[in-house]
Amino acid sequence: MKTIDLIGLLAKGEVPGPRHALARRFALALIAGGLGALLLMMAVYGVRADLADVARLPLFWARLALPASLAAAALWLCSRLARPGVNGGVAWVVLALPIVLVWLGGAMALVGAPVESRAELMLGRTWRTCALNIGLLGIPALAAVFWALRGLAPTQLRRAGAAGGLLAGAVATLAYCLHCPEMEVPFWGMWYVLGMALPTVLGALLGPRLLRW
């Protein structure tokens, strides 16, 4: 922008932005990122064949509750950090609650299980690939969330990038749950959380570079 244009813009005074711009941008980002993660999951991994049967189990919905609650908390955090000078505040505490609850549930499951079966509860059959799969599925959502943040006014760029990465990771995990065969709470507490941590770290690294305005 030329200096004379900037002066003219400032001379016009404060102009209110479009109403509900933040909500619209994040809604579009979540739709695009969620569809991208879902289509990528179906193309690369496929939906588990017994999904209709598994969906009748309460444990299946409990598994979905982890990324769903983290997505809601991360969205709240992103909406706060997308405003200039606004801190995350209590959203950081809310963000930690689902993880702590799953860790407590996982610890109780491990304590109540025979010693020889504890490693299987934690590792399952897919521990080598689970976190990386979630990280891969998070790429479309991360791009969409960063698009939303770039159109707003974050000032804490690293924190905003991390929150956006966590939101992307949670969306990716929701999609991955339709494929993942693991149903044990200790497994989610370790590998799902690690999988969501990958785009979180990536978002924190990219935030200062891509969210600057």
14-32, pLDDT tens digit by residue? 445 555 778 899 999 999 9
The residue-averaged pLDDT of 52-81 equals 94
pLDDT digits (tens, 9 = 90+) for 137-176: 999 999 999 999 998 889 899 999 999 999 999 999 999 9
Rounded Cα gap, residues 127 and 133, in angstroms: 10
Q: What is the mean pLDDT of the chain?
A: 89
Rounded Cα gap, residues 133 and 122, in angstroms: 17
CA-to-CA dists, residue 90 to 73, 94, 97, angstroms: 10, 6, 11
pLDDT digits (tens, 9 = 90+) for 82-122: 888 778 778 888 999 999 999 999 999 999 999 999 999 99
CA-to-CA dists, residue 213 to 34, 141, 160, 165, 207, angstroms: 26, 21, 13, 19, 11
Question: What pLDDT is stored for residue 18 in this prediction?
Answer: 58
The reported pTM is 0.88
> Closest Cα to residue 139, out of 40, 24, 15?
40
